């Protein structure tokens, strides 16, 4: 009735997205996904030759939503303000969807050829490069953007793991994000 008519391929990914949000990345068993989709454990093989490819398809959903979230925010205004919004949106996504974010950056589990992150991840980075160049002209925007991206990723990972709270004693990650932005782009009101 509702969406029973959707193909099994999409349904498996739906189930996976739901499952990783609900129980974490280690719950994404092939057989468990099949179980929750109401099919036998051999069925997914018709659509995803291997477990890794199913996980990659689930992760690609994550990259898509990350792109959508960061695109929705930081629409206009000066480049520096848009970068702040983008960075905060990135961090919030990572911490609202820890399981998915963890899955997205488990390169041992995502044969990077399968998930074509060039389609979703690279455009996002290009936007970062563009905004960086606008906010801080006169430097190698590509390198600075790379360092900034790495910084956001590191904060997301270490914060999610709890290390940064332990090491710095902070209770909120926004000061860290602002410190990173100030460092790479210069102080906000400059």
**Among a copy of itself, DNA, none, residue 42 binds (CB under 5-8 Å by kind):** DNA
Non-local CB neighbours of 163 within 8 Å, separated by 6+ positions: none
Verify binding: residue 176, a copy of itself, rule CB under 8 A: yes
Question: Which of 48, 93, 101, 149 is close enough to bind a copy of itself by CB under 8 A?
Answer: 149
**Among a copy of itself, DNA, none, residue 36 binds (CB under 5-8 Å by kind):** none
Non-local CB neighbours of 148 within 8 Å, separated by 6+ positions: 87, 128, 132, 180, 181, 184, 185
Question: Which of 23, 46, 111, 139 is close enough to bind DNA by CB under 7 A?
Answer: 46
Verify binding: residue 112, DNA, rule CB under 7 A: no
Question: Which of 4, 167, 171, 190 is close enough to bind a copy of itself by CB under 8 A?
Answer: 167
Question: Given the complex with a copy of itself, which of 15 and 148 has the nearer CB atom?
Answer: 148
**Among a copy of itself, DNA, none, residue 45 binds (CB under 5-8 Å by kind):** DNA
Where does residue 51 rank: exposed (0-12), middle (13-18), buried (19+ CB within 10 A)?
middle
């Amino acid at each position: 009735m509702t969406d029973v008519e959707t193909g099994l391929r999409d349904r498996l990914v739906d189930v996976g997205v739901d499952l990783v949000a609900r129980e974490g990345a280690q719950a994404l068993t092939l057989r468990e996904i099949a179980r929750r989709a109401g099919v036998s454990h051999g069925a997914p093989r018709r659509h995803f030759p291997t477990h890794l490819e199913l996980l990659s398809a689930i992760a690609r959903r994550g990259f898509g939503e990350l792109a959508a979230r960061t695109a929705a925010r930081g629409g206009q205004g000066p480049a520096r303000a848009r970068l702040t919004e983008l960075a905060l949106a990135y961090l919030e996504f990572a911490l609202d969807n820890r399981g998915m974010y963890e899955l997205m950056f488990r390169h041992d589990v995502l044969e990077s050829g399968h998930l074509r992150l060039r389609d979703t991840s690279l455009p996002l980075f290009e936007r970062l490069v563009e905004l960086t160049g606008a906010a801080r002209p006169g430097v190698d925007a590509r390198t600075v953007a790379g360092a900034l991206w790495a910084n956001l990723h590191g904060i997301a990972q270490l914060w999610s793991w709890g290390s940064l709270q332990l090491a710095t004693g902070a209770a909120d990650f926004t000061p860290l994000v602002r410190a990173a932005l100030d460092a790479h782009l210069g102080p906000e009101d400059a």
